[in-house]
C-alpha cells in the first residue's frame, strides 16, 4: 500500500499511541520527519527519539512524554496536505492557542517553530500544529 501523506500518517501514529498511553511509537523515517521530531523534543512534547535501522528501511522510535497520567501532546494535526498546501508569509504565520501550542513551519532555510520563523523573518508551508 502506498502512502500519499507520510506526515499525516506519522501524526496519527503519535496521536493514537498517546491516547492509549504507550511508552513509544515507531514511525517511518524521512529527513522532514526527523526534523519535526527534533522540534517536538526541543519543545518538550516528546521525551526522546532515535533512528532505528531494520532489515530494509529506516524508522524512528519516538518516546512519548507524559505529565502524570496526561500526555504532553493533547492534539497534533496536519494543516498543509498534498492536495491543499497552506503557505503563509512571515507576517501571517499563525499563533496556536495564543502561544500555548506551536505551529511547525517548513521554510527555505529549514523546519522551524512558528516563533523561530517569525524571529528570523521567514514564511513558508505550515506543516502542522501541536498543543
What tens digit of pLDDT does each residue of 62-75 get? 999 999 999 999 99
Angle in degrees, CA 49, 80, 23, rounded to 5: 25
Q: What is the CATH number of the domain that holds 50?
A: 3.30.1370.30
User: Residue 2 pLDDT more than 70?
Assistant: no
Question: Taking a C-beta distance cutoff of 8 angstroms, is the pair 15, 73 a contact?
Answer: yes
User: Residue 19 pLDDT more than 90?
Assistant: yes
Res 49: pLDDT: 97
Q: Are strands 87-88 and 124-130 parallel, antiparallel or unpaired?
A: antiparallel
Res 3: pLDDT: 79
Domain that holds residue 100: 76-130
Res 55: pLDDT: 85
Res 115: pLDDT: 95
| Judgement on whether residues 82 and 40 belong to the same structural domain of the protein | no
What average pLDDT does the segment 22-35 reach?
A: 96
Angle in degrees, CA 78, 84, 88, rounded to 5: 75
The answer to whether position 87 is within a domain reads yes
| Judgement on whether residues 100 and 58 belong to the same structural domain of the protein | no
| Judgement on whether residues 49 and 85 belong to the same structural domain of the protein | no
Number of domains in the chain: 2
Question: Taking a C-beta distance cutoff of 8 angstroms, is the pair 36, 77 a contact?
Answer: no
| Judgement on whether residues 81 and 122 belong to the same structural domain of the protein | yes
Q: What is the CATH number of the domain that holds 86?
A: 3.30.1490.10
| Judgement on whether residues 60 and 22 belong to the same structural domain of the protein | yes
Segments in the chain forming alpha helices (H): 6-19, 31-42, 114-120
Question: pLDDT, tens digit, for every residue of 74-104?
Answer: 999 999 999 999 999 999 999 999 989 999 9
| Judgement on whether residues 81 and 57 belong to the same structural domain of the protein | no
Res 99: pLDDT: 85
User: Residue 1 pLDDT more than 80?
Assistant: no
| Judgement on whether residues 49 and 91 belong to the same structural domain of the protein | no
Res 16: pLDDT: 96
What average pLDDT does the segment 106-127 reach?
A: 97
**What 3-state DSSP class applies to 116?**
helix
The answer to whether position 1 is within a domain reads no
Interhelix angle 31-42/6-19, rounded to 10 degrees, is 40
Residues 6+ apart with CB under 8 A from 113: 39, 43, 102, 103, 104, 105
The answer to whether position 96 is within a domain reads yes
Domain end residue (candidates: 71, 86, 111)? 71
Question: Taking a C-beta distance cutoff of 8 angstroms, is the pair 59, 28 a contact?
Answer: yes
Amino acid at each position: 500500500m502506498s502512502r500519499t501523506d507520510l506526515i499525516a500518517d506519522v501524526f496519527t501514529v503519535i496521536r493514537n499511541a498517546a491516547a492509549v498511553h504507550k511508552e513509544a511509537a515507531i514511525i517511518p523515517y524521512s529527513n522532514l520527519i526527523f526534523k519535526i521530531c527534533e522540534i517536538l523534543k526541543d519543545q518538550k512534547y516528546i521525551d526522546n527519539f532515535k533512528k532505528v535501522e531494520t532489515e530494509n528501511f529506516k524508522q524512528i522510535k519516538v518516546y512519548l512524554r507524559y505529565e502524570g497520567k496526561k500526555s504532553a501532546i493533547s492534539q497534533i494535526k496536519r494543516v498543509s496536505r498534498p492536495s491543499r498546501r497552506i503557505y503563509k508569509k512571515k507576517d501571517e504565520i499563525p499563533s496556536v492557542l495564543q502561544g500555548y501550542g506551536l505551529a511547525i513551519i517548513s521554510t527555505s532555510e529549514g523546519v522551524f517553530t512558528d516563533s523561530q520563523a517569525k524571529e528570523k523573518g521567514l514564511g513558508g508551508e505550515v506543516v502542522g500544529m501541536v498543543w
